[in-house]
Structure 1
Amino acid sequence: MTAILGISALYHDSAAALLVDGEIVAAAQEERFTRRKHDPRFPARAIAYVLEEAGIGLDAVDHVVFYDKPFLKFERLLETYLAVAPRGFNSFRMAMPVWLREKLFLKDLLKKELRKFDRGFQEARLMFAEHHISHAASAFFPSPFEEAVVLTIDGVGEWATTTVGIGRGHDLEIRKELHFPHSLGLLYSAFTYYTGFKVNSGEYKVMGLAPYGTPRFKALILDKVVEVKEDGSFRLNQKYFNYASGLTMTSKAMEELFGAPVRQPESEELTQFHMDIAASVQAVTEEIMLRLTRALAREYQIDSLCLAGGVALNCVANGKILRDGAFKNIWIQPAAGDAGGALGAAQAAWHMELGQPRKINGADSMRGGYLGPGYSDDQIAEELTRAGAVFERLDEAAMIDATAQALAGGKAIGWFQGRMEFGPRALGGRSILGDPRSEVMQKLLNLKVKYRESFRPFAPSVLREHVGDWFELDGDSPYMLIVADVQKDIRRDMTAAEQALFGIDKLNVKRSEIPAVTHVDYSARVQTVHRETNPKYHALISRFNELTGCPLVVNTSFNVRGEPIVCTPEDAFRCFMGTEIELLVAGNHVLRKEAQDPALRENYEEKYELD
């Protein structure tokens, strides 16, 4: 047996992943255990979990692999500060103590932490992978492809911000790189900051806001802010940014260019201007990604594309790449951000360092993304009892029927089943579910359950065998990373008065037979549900279809705004009691809100820092 532990840590989204003889046994983010969103600390809890899942101690692990090379990152930091000196001194002054205390001596920190698991841990077992190799490995090695172009796009690793690799068998070679400060991820993050959202967590809000606007600034951004070549390579005009030298993402020049200051999130409302800015940066991102992928398809003449890095979570752009058809097949790592680097680092060691072959059987090796902790019915009952919950335990068929009936009756359901998902999306393991036919469900879930902005869209989970009947998608999207349009025959034409509406006023217009998951531009972020990877979720949606003639449900992550997705039955019960979720279904246990002790209610609306 050969066991490899991959770790990502100390920037954001720390995580651990474990391979045993090349098979993915377990992977999880530290935030799920600590309940601290995007937790960057050493992932001690996640490591403890993956080892427990495999039934081994750290002493049985052959190699521990860290997902990037801190000395290269430090080199980039120093060179950047020297290039812009004396500007950036405040940023330098704040960054250096952390680097000198922790990150520069990362090897010592890792040894110290790992010896808490295995007192005899030796440095010889420690390996380091480059950041973009970790991303690229996480994209290619679990994919179902024998050969693929591998594109990784994020903020920045050590120096690279965009890389192109070619994967064949168990080989992966990086062919091209774009370097800091020219970064599509940092461009998107700069506009996230400019529109008043939090960098490294609010980017998906910009993507969700974009359809409410028109991309009237796209030409201005392409003229002044980012120069894009025909092959998709690009350069950012640093005049408009401050991330290389300062403590903010954008400079005064950005405010002068668009004629407005950075939006203050707590005091300033979103306006049509901010929606148009969001639409414009989204359109620029799509333009760059389409030029990149078309050029790569022409150059390498390979049918398949793999994607990772934080920008690969831009599911609107992914949908456009798929429909563009330059590549016949696309596979995106579901944990595309830094958390997935833990998995990629382990896989890079197994295949590239140890030279082990890949097993390709026509499906990816991510097990549907269900790589986190799972709980037996007895364990669930024990935790719920300890928390003071009142519940009934049904057999599986009765539980499925009761849940489907409640969904058909318009109830918001907390759904806690099987193993927790790895990555930022809930995929039917730790989900809040609703009826997609409801005209009020989208607003209800946003304002009364998630405690978040009303404009944010929800995703449909649809039976794979019915996806083409409801969406303009002919293929798999198991990880909710592809946006497709709702089929024309279930859309509702808008009246002239409705078409004249602007911005957020568009929100309440019914657009289709499934209004709760149809965004204002008739799009939806689709998750296809497969009997092979999640039989219980598939059975629930099948029963809902029998009751309603609708083979899909609303699926959003089981958490409130600012909270990590729930991990344990106790987490699920607390969130259930702190929100207006009406029914919690954990394993085969059904909990009704009206049966619970009202003294156990929590004020979840203010419990977590806003994301």
Structure 2
Amino acid sequence: MAWVLGVAASHNGAACLLRDGEIVVALQEERVTREKRAFVDAGRPSAAIEACLRYAGISAGDLGMAVGCSPDSPDAADLSRSAQLDLRAHGVPSRVVSHHLGHAAGAFATAGFDDATVLVIDGMGSRLADLDGRERAAARLLPDWDPADLCEHASIYRAVDRELVVVEKHVAPLVRILRWFERNPDEGMPPFESLGGIFNSVATRVFGQFFEAGKVMGLAPCGRVNLPAERFFEIVDETFRFHGDALDAFDGDALWPHNPARWQNLAASAQAALERGIAHLVRRARTLTSSPNLCYAGGVALNGIANEQIVARGGFERVFIMPAAEDSGTAIGAAYLGAWELGDRHPPRAFAKDSLGPVYSAERVQSAIAREPRVRESDEDVLDLLCAGRIIGWFSAGSELGPRALGQRSILCDPRSPSVKRRLNAEIKRREAYRPFAPLLLREHAAEWFEGDALDTPFMLHIRSFREAQRERVPAVVHVDGTGRPQTISDETHPRLCALLRRFYARTGVPMLLNTSFNVAGEPIVETPEDAIASLLSCGLDAVMLEQTLVVKR
């Protein structure tokens, strides 16, 4: 079967190579350029595309198809424009697919379901004018708005046998959404016209930063709901009506950390409103489709608090949330859409592990160590270091495509120690003190530590309540409301990490470690062995486990 290239032409730009129904490699642009949220545009060379082709040992002429996906204009995703690929000269066909279709295909292709309902929710997607006739016909239009001025923000699909059929699409005024990008909190909160836009708008107002929905989610449990959901939006005839002026009362307020209670309550209110909006769309999806399986993607799908409500009360028997739920995952969806068009009929396979980046050889690791005179190999036991309160970088196999560190590019430390958490924040992450860190634990021990059912959470996409008796044992990973965002691992997916956790458990009685992404403040997650060593030298890390080799500073 031919190679297929999928590209996410977006602020979370990425590339994916597919062959015989399998992802060979997928990589975010920012991991290569070292520029956070690096944009990919078909009219410019892409470092991620180059790295993927090089890793696979192929050139553009070996492709059977190239497919681009973008929330912006189709030109941004039109790979026939790429001088880097020069597809026309090679006779390689290209396609452009809509943004939500890319999200939906990526989720369905990696869920392992034969059929599914697919829900996509994000801040903004493709313009209605750029969609095909079926997708435009499914849109719930807004009164007083020209359809040409609208874009998608939530979509429901029915997926059966590699075919995705749009069922319903919710839209928003594009001109108002684009005002988010003005990013000037001194002139008031930008309006929001989508569920994803609520959090982006609140993040801009509270922190003066765009694309920081995770900060709002982490702040929400610290406050109380004092604004009803109706202040953010109403649902009229099954259609969202957003109130873009709802938060004018916050204009002129000093940014966080000033007025903490005021911002905490706003975050809590925004979270409650988001959950209500998602619940409506999930019920709508269940009503309009017949499948008991739900696939879920789009940036809003990274909200672990809301995800837990979907699992518990959504009415679906099985729920799969795409690990690369944000725009980078559309590279996977684009690649699968191309493969299906070419006739690929490999059965769907459940996504077991987000480790899709290039794998670096032992020779590359040793060369990186040898070239840097400020580091050396160590024969110390990483377990001894962790138990002594040291902070360790963990570099293993291919990197994660999505935004979560899932044991391939992680920083690990002892979850029992509040002082280690404080040092991690002060010397490495430099995050807001309220933001929680995640527990990484052995799957077989999840029920002993967390409440509820369905405790296998391999992608860190759910917020779970710790059992009350366990909370004081691991204060570094328990949030203010007694919850955590766990990642469960098994020998099938993480044999070396499981072996370390079992040794830590045997010594401490705790089958988990604190896990956060392997990067310093303001930088993307490390990609290469050289990146990992540079990170070790630039911050308060005590050591890095580079595959099988422990590296420390001289």
Give TM class, smaller chain.
Answer: 0.7 to 0.9
Aligned twin of 1:346: 335
Q: CA deviation at 1:287?
A: 1.3
Aligned length, in residue pairs: 507
Offset from partner CA, 1:440-471 (integer Å, 9 cap, x none): 23322122221221111101111111111111
**What TM-score do you get using the length of structure 2 for normalisation?**
0.87
Q: CA deviation at 1:358?
A: 4.2
| Corresponding residue to 2:436 among 436, 446, 457 | 457
Aligned twin of 1:543: 503
**What TM-score do you get using the length of structure 1 for normalisation?**
0.79
| Corresponding residue to 2:321 among 313, 318, 332 | 332
Q: CA deviation at 1:108?
A: 7.7
Aligned twin of 2:383: 404
Q: CA deviation at 1:380?
A: 0.7
Q: Which amino acid aligns with 1:128?
A: V
Aligned twin of 1:501: none
Q: Which amino acid aligns with 1:439?
A: P
- Kept in 2: contact 1:389–1:573 (CA 8 A): no
2-side partners of 1:56 and 1:270: how far apart? 55
Q: CA deviation at 1:41?
A: 3.6
Bigger Cα displacement from structure 2, 203-212 vs 379-388? 379-388
Residue 392 (structure 1) aligned with residue 371 (structure 2): no
Q: CA deviation at 1:113?
A: 2.6
| Corresponding residue to 1:134 among 99, 102, 117 | 102
Identity %: 37
Residue 279 (structure 1) aligned with residue 268 (structure 2): yes
- Kept in 2: contact 1:170–1:356 (CA 8 A): no
Residue 111 (structure 1) aligned with residue 103 (structure 2): no
Q: CA deviation at 1:69?
A: 7.6
Aligned twin of 2:291: 302
Q: CA deviation at 1:70?
A: 5.4
2-side partners of 1:521 and 1:341: how far apart? 33
| Corresponding residue to 2:465 among 468, 482, 485 | 485
Aligned twin of 1:315: 304
Structure 2 residue ranges without an equivalent (≥5): 127-150, 174-192
Q: CA deviation at 1:194?
A: 1.7
Aligned twin of 2:15: 16
Q: CA deviation at 1:188?
A: 1.7
Q: CA deviation at 1:579?
A: 1.2
Q: Which amino acid aligns with 1:48?
A: E
1-side partners of 2:477 and 2:78: how far apart? 47
SS at match of 1:482: coil
2-side partners of 1:171 and 1:488: how far apart? 45
- Kept in 1: contact 2:428–2:521 (CA 8 A): no
Q: Which amino acid aligns with 1:404?
A: L
- Kept in 2: contact 1:196–1:262 (CA 8 A): no
Q: Which amino acid aligns with 2:6?
A: G
Residue 568 (structure 1) aligned with residue 539 (structure 2): no
Aligned twin of 1:51: 53
Alignment of 1:11-410 (within 5 A): 11-42=10-41, 44-68=46-70, 71=73, 103=75, 107=78, 110-115=81-86, 120-122=89-91, 125-158=93-126, 159-181=151-173, 182-200=193-211, 202-217=212-227, 219=228, 222-228=229-235, 233-238=239-244, 240=245, 254-256=247-249, 258=250, 260-261=251-252, 263-264=254-255, 269=258, 271-324=260-313, 326-351=315-340, 353-360=341-348, 364-365=350-351, 367-392=352-377, 402-410=381-389
2-side partners of 1:319 and 1:463: how far apart? 20
2-side partners of 1:471 and 1:230: how far apart? 39
Structure 1 residue ranges without an equivalent (≥5): 73-102, 241-252, 492-511, 597-611
Q: CA deviation at 1:331?
A: 0.8
Query: CA separation of 1:109/1:120 partners in 2, compared to 1, >3 Å: closer, same or farther?
Result: closer
2-side partners of 1:322 and 1:40: how far apart? 33
- Kept in 2: contact 1:468–1:474 (CA 8 A): no
2-side partners of 1:587 and 1:314: how far apart? 31
Q: CA deviation at 1:370?
A: 0.2
Superposed CA RMSD in Å reads 2.2
Residue 447 (structure 1) aligned with residue 426 (structure 2): yes
Aligned twin of 2:187: none
Q: CA deviation at 1:71?
A: 5.0
2-side partners of 1:178 and 1:434: how far apart? 43
2-side partners of 1:109 and 1:547: how far apart? 58
SS at match of 1:112: coil
2-side partners of 1:569 and 1:588: how far apart? 12
